[in-house]
Structures are given as structure tokens and as C-alpha cells.
A and B are shown apart, each in its own frame.
Chain A
Amino acid sequence: MKLVPAIVKGMGRTLKHAIGTTFGDESITVSYPEQEKPRPRRFRGRHILNRYENGLEKCIGCSLCAAACPADAIWVEAAENDPQNRVSPGERYAARYEINMLRCIFCGYCEEACPTGAVQLGYDYKLIDEEGRQHNWQDRDDFIFTKEMMLVDPGKGKPDPLSEALDERLKQNPNHDRVW
């Protein structure tokens, strides 16, 4: 008998929305693509690669994302930093960083595995580039996103405590010869 109030409550809510959408201006669907629904804070969309405040890349080419990837979608080739012309702090950077978006299942394991908060699954789900242009899909190769396509400006990443801690750490290391 306890269920009766619950059912009544539930039906009440249904009824409210039914009336609201039918007679009022409440709406459940949005008219995409003119309108878009807001994404939750931890939404897992297209990958982004973060930078430090001074513009250095956070990615160090460690390949741990590739190791964690259940779909084998990530390909990383590392190289050694030239201290005069750094790409990232520390000794190592990613010379190639590619994600095959046809393989990716957007599970977010890469983000979990990343020791520097470099790779994150961003809010974009349309696989568009930085300027919002639609990618030119013609070939399967076009779905391989390169590092340049995924890098974002400093501070554009998702909020993340690890990332912020590393930002602080880098400030204490003016030579940028260490990551941790």
C-alpha cells in the first residue's frame, strides 16, 4: 500500500510536464543544430590536449593513454626535448600524438591514465575543430586526429585538480627540466 503515494507522485510529475509542453512553453527536446543542450561538467566528448599557462604542452609522450586504451585508438611517438626550444617541460614530449576517432569509444580511460592531465575528453561531441569548422570527412584517414587538432589554449581544459597542481609545480621550476 506504500506504493500508492509514490505512484500518485510520479503520475503527477508526468502530468505536469504533459500539460507544460502541450499548453505552456516548456520543452524537452531542443531543435538541434540551432539549439544545443548543455553538457554536464564531466561530459566525455572529443579529446583535447592541454597546455600549461606559459604555453608548454602538458603531454610528455609517455604512452600511458595508449596503454590504457581498450580500443587501441591512440598512437604516440615520443622524442627528446631540446632545452633551447621546449615543447613540454622535462625531457620528453610527444612528437606524434594521434587518436583514431573511429576506434575511440569515449570511455575516458586515457584521461584516467594521464599522469599530467594532458589529455582530457572535452565537451565537443561533433568532432569539429578549434574554430568550430566541420571536419572534412572523406577518408578513413581523416578520422585520425593529430596533436595539432587536439591542442587547446592554456586554461581551456576541463577543471582538474591534478592539472592545477602541476601548473603550480611548473612555476617553481623555472628551467622546466622536470615535470614532477
Chain B
Amino acid sequence: MLSDAAVQRIQEIVKEYPNTKSALVPALYVAQRDAGGWLPREAMVEVAEELDLPESHVYSVATFYSMFYLKPIGENVIQVCTTSPCGLRGANEIVDCFKKRLGVGLNETTADGKFTLMEVECLAACNVAPMAQINEDYYVNITEERVDEIVTMLGRGEKPPYAEFAQNLKGAHPIAFTDAELGIDVSGIKPADPVVKKEKPAEAAPTEAK
């Protein structure tokens, strides 16, 4: 299931940590990229094999973090924070707005496969509530009018000007960590088409090599 490049990358990541358990999150991240933006069971099993960890442990970690997706997702993932401060500043109305605009419920993907809407817990940007994480960028001080603009632009394949909003962050990190900042080099790994399931490559040789 995992491509050779991904397996190789995981093996490199493992070397950077004192034990394989510590390498689990970045390894899963690579696997998610490789498997088409989400983590199928086979990918988790392979990561477990690569890191010599119990499969259940990998599963436990993958389910804990909201940025690991265990179901196929759309091109754009909209994660709206609805924890108390955002909630007080009207996050639930923003969620409703997104729902209406996209025509989907929570944890659902639009029929065209473009958007997945989710609700998440605190993303540590309470000073600019209400806010949402869209793909890997923070969109802050979202108003109901902005929702329409964001969705329209994303739908056209453009990136809404998140930096403009982010100026309000005042010292806080404007965006989520990029892959580079995390030290995860996924340049060699091309995100696969999220909808079409990849075929299993014939007897992956790297499994033998370890």
C-alpha cells in the first residue's frame, strides 16, 4: 500500500528519534500523504510494521489527533473550532453558515469532493475567535460574510487571503506549521488522488530490507 518513497522516508524519520514510538506521528503523517490524504487501515498496519509497534497503538494515536483522517476527505478540509471562547464569539453560527453554504453536515464531504466540514476542539487562537483551520492555514475572525468568500475562492481553486486575517493574530504564529517547519520532508511524495484507491504495489521490497 505505502509507496517505496514513503517507506524510505519513514525509515529516515525513525533514525531521528531515540525510539520508534516517538517517530509515530510524523510517520503517520507521511503515510497519510502517501495514501491520498487519509489513513486507511492498511496504511496504519504498515506503519505499525515499519515501526515495530503494536497495530492497536498506532490506531490509538491516529484516532487521537484531529489532523489524521480515518475516512476519505475532500480537497479542502474546513475545521471550525467550537470550543468555549470561539463558541462565545459565535462559532456555532459560523458552522451553521458553512453547513448551509456547502450543503453538508458535520464530518461530511460535498458531493463534488471539494469540501469536508468538521468541528474541532481548541486550536489555540482564542484571541482571534471565531476561527477555523482550512487545510493547513488559520482563518481568523471569521464573519458570516467571509464564509461565502472563503468557500467561493476555494471552490475556484484559489487560496483565500488568510495572511490578511492573520495580521490580527498579533504575535501568535500566523499559520499552522508547514511540513518544512515540522522537519517532515514530503517533497518526494506526491499526494495521491484522494478518491481513486491506489493499487497495492507488488511485494514491497523494503519490508524485507529492515
In the complex they form, whether A and B have CB atoms below 8 Å apart is answered with no
* Chain A residues engaging chain B, CB cutoff 8 angstroms: none
* Chain B residues engaging chain A, CB cutoff 8 angstroms: none
